[in-house]
Amino acid sequence: MAKESKTSPKKPKFNAWWVYATVIALLIGFQFMSSGLSNTRKTTTSELQSYLKNGDINKIIIISNTRQAKVFLTKEALAKEVHKDVAEKSFNLSGLSPEYILDFGDLQNFENDIKTIKSEYQLDTLVDYETESNVFGDLLLSLLPFVLIIGIWIYVMKRMSGGAGGGGGGQIFNIGKSKAKLFDEKTDTRTSFKDVAGLEGAKEEVEEIVSFLKHPEKYTSLGGKIPKGALLVGPPGTGKTLLAKAVAGEAKVPFFSLSGSDFVEMFVGVGASRVRDLFKQAKEKSPAIIFIDEIDAIGRARGKNNMTGSNDERENTLNQLLTEMDGFGTNTNVIVLAATNRADVLDKALMRAGRFDRQIYVDLPDIRERKEIFEVHLKPIKTSEKLDIDFLARQTPGFSGADIANVCNEAALIAARKDKKAVSKQDFLDAVDRIVGGLEKKNKIVTQSEKETIAYHEAGHATVSWMLEHAAPLVKVTIVPRGQSLGAAWYLPEERLIVRTEQMLDEMCATLGGRAAEKVIFNKISTGALSDLEKVTKQARAMVTVYGLNESLGNITYYDSSGQSEYGFTKPYSEETAQKIDKEISILIEAQYQRAIELLEENKEKLTTLAKRLLEKEVIFKDDLEKIFGERPFIPAPKALQKEATANPDDEADTGISDSLENKEENASSIVTESTLEDPNNSTTTKEEGKA
């Protein structure tokens, strides 16, 4: 309704280049008419003398400054056959045009010749003298330097005011203008809510916002007010920006899209000016939607880390944004959408009701949502008929929407590299392996001693995880270098919402199984367990300081959900407590290390057998562990998962790889690496699981 009342036919846009073209055309026309519309023909001195002797010439005008002579014939001469080409007279701006024109050399000789012929033949031919000047030519020559200077100046000003491609330096005279990209109903935005798979809760909230703007009277008739803003919060790659693109495609209202960094500039006051200009444009086109991506670039809490004074400009921008969202004279027909993955660092004034009335959490997709996301991203890909999307969804726990899109693309590239006509299940499994673990480096030089150490290390992980109830069961072990790691182990983690103490302890014990195996077999330890130690230390610290799972410290947490502790230099506990925390962390880790050593001592023969098979094959799978250790003595994961994990395709390689790909836990990879470098995929899982 509101939109229809504001719709008006667009006026034709004025273009200054038409004015320039018209002026140039007129000048050329004048010049052409003044000189080119006559039948005047050039003649020679001998012809002129012949015409003069015959009495054909009525008048001769000598132009002294140009050394030209204009010849006008008599009426009787124009009837003669010899002059038929110049008989038709034409109009000239300067008057009647001559029939002939002559370029003479010496004026005196020319005059003497004419006088001689006139006296000899007794002619009354009129001889006159004139001077001529090209007014238009002289005017153009005099104005040309000024025209060039003015043209260059206009060109430079246009380039500096935004025509240079949009950088800060290119928009020196337009720097305070908003850089928001406008999508209106006539813009071809192909993204719609049908393209957003999963995210049912978030999508419902966003659809309601679109409904607010389309039918405001439906909600305001009961006395309610339309929300002023909504904040999309969630981990990277979960689809926050995609939701905003879907809003731009679905909403039949103007949609302004920009990033938080677009407000930031090196000049003082630019950010605040751009905020004012953005909301001014939105109010002129209201009802409208403003989308600010990565709002934490300008929305961080004020008063933090302000010793250098570097945040003054950002705070000014934030203050202006606060005023525009909920200040005097604000327009309720403008709704602000924002996206961030750092909601904890945002200013409290920005988060209050009346500015961002709603916070929409966009979480990592579950197994059902992952299936829907796969269906969307598989549409443009040529897949084999036997591809099971449910299986792919189960193989990718903890993957975001962006990760799944990357898997589909990587699978297509792998299939193309193998010259396949369609992408098969194996290509998808190889793609997950490639993304999580990295590219295989089979040509990396590894000595036999190092290879043996790596084999026992990975066999230790596999053995301990198989013997512990709450540890994730192993599905694949390899000693082929991959990415930054010298060896890796893939596990099948459960998608837990909460984690108990015994589960965390079992995971720690399984992680320390690699170093424990080195100790049991070689009575020596190496630097290859760096990523294991990092993971275990983070888990133990989280148990003690975050989740309150330590009996000695009790039910105490030092976790600050507001994020304020990041900017402080003091710890929330005393030095005595710090020493106690360090001691309890060490006790937890060492206890699980000794537990892993005891388990491996009891199963030393099986450990050796597994390591030798690993040295022989380089890659072993779950079936190999079942042959050596037998069935796991614990209740397995859900039957659906277990059934798929133990499925036996035709060839052994396919079986192993397909089993191995459920190796990514919620928000973290379960890969255990053999590298002295930090494994970027091997981060702790306990904190995120506990928060969930």
Helix and strand numbers (H, E) in the chain are 26, 19
Would you state the structure tokens that stand for residue 103, as one six-digit string? 């370029």
Secondary structure (3-state) at 360: strand
Strand partners, 59: 72, 126
Among 250, 313, 369, 458, the active-site one is: 458
Would you state the structure tokens that stand for residue 358, as one six-digit string? 């709603």
Which residue stretches of 122-221 are H helix? 135-160, 200-214, 216-220
458 is an active site residue: yes
Compute the distance between CA of residue 409 and CA of residue 376 in angstroms, rounded to an integer: 12
Whole-number Cα distances in Å, 254 to 138, 481, 636: 54, 52, 53
Which one-letter amino acid corresponds to residue 324? E
Q: DSSP letter at 157?
A: H
Contacts of 411 by beta carbon, 8 Å cutoff, 6+ apart: 381, 423, 427, 428, 430, 431
**How far is Cα of residue 463 from the mean position of the Cα atoms in its chain?**
44
First-residue to last-residue Cα distance in the chain: 43
Assess contact for 309 and 268: CB atoms under 8 A: no
Secondary structure (3-state) at 331: coil
Compute φ and ψ for 306, nearest 5 degrees: -105, 20
Compute the distance between CA of residue 171 and CA of residue 165 in angstroms, rounded to an integer: 9
Q: Which of 350, 363, 359 is nearest to 231 (CA)?
A: 359
Q: Which of 188, 232, 151, 685 is nearest to 471 (CA)?
A: 685
Contacts of 369 by beta carbon, 8 Å cutoff, 6+ apart: 197, 198, 199, 200
Active site residues: 458
